[in-house]
């Protein structure tokens, strides 16, 4: 159980393009999902917490107008990187936490490797 699906796995596109990444919880409902970014050989960095039916909560230093998050249903959150530039190239990973007493682990999607040319 607790499967999270992320799509696409790889994206290569030109500078200035907007890219949408989808994150789905397949066998549970997730009121909260999380978006992370990880540069090569660096730590996992939380970008934002996605809340179903309300605005996302962004971490300090993350531009909310550049990284648009939509959590329209209990099983789907999307991250759109708007007008992507080469410095946005990174590994983007989503996670979701099954409902419970707060003792549930976050389960991760397989990640999206984004390369901006």
Judged by the rule CB under 8 A, the positions of this chain that interact with other proteins are 6, 34, 43-44, 46, 91, 93, 102-103, 105-111, 113
Query: Running DSSP on this structure, what letter comes out for residue 15?
Result: T
For 96, the token pair is 């979701």
Q: Which is nearer to other proteins, 16 or 105 (CB)?
A: 105
For 65, the token pair is 């107008």
* 70 vs 67: CA distance, rounded Å: 10
Q: Which is nearer to other proteins, 24 or 107 (CB)?
A: 107
Least distance to other proteins from the beta carbon of 93, Å? Answer: 5
Residues contacting residue 110 through CB under 8 Å, at least 6 positions apart: 5, 6, 9
Please state whether 27 falls in left (phi above 0), alpha (psi between -120 and 50) or beta. alpha
Least distance to other proteins from the beta carbon of 84, Å? Answer: 20
Least distance to other proteins from the beta carbon of 83, Å? Answer: 26
Least distance to other proteins from the beta carbon of 117, Å? Answer: 20
Q: Which is nearer to other proteins, 58 or 91 (CB)?
A: 91
Q: Which is nearer to other proteins, 16 or 57 (CB)?
A: 57
Q: From 98, 96, 90, 100, select the one nearest 108 (Cα to Cα).
A: 96
């Amino acid at each position: 159980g607790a499967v999270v699906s992320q799509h696409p796995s790889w994206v290569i596109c030109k500078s200035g393009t907007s890219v949408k990444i989808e994150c789905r919880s397949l066998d549970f409902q997730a009121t909260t999902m999380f978006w992370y970014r990880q540069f090569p050989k660096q730590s996992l960095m939380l970008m934002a917490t996605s809340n179903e039916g309300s605005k996302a909560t962004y971490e300090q230093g993350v531009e909310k107008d550049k990284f648009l998050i939509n959590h329209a249903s209990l099983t789907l959150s999307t991250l759109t990187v708007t007008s992507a530039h080469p410095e946005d190239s990174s590994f983007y990973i989503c996670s979701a936490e099954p409902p419970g007493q707060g003792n549930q682990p976050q389960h991760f999607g397989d990640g999206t490797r984004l390369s901006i040319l």
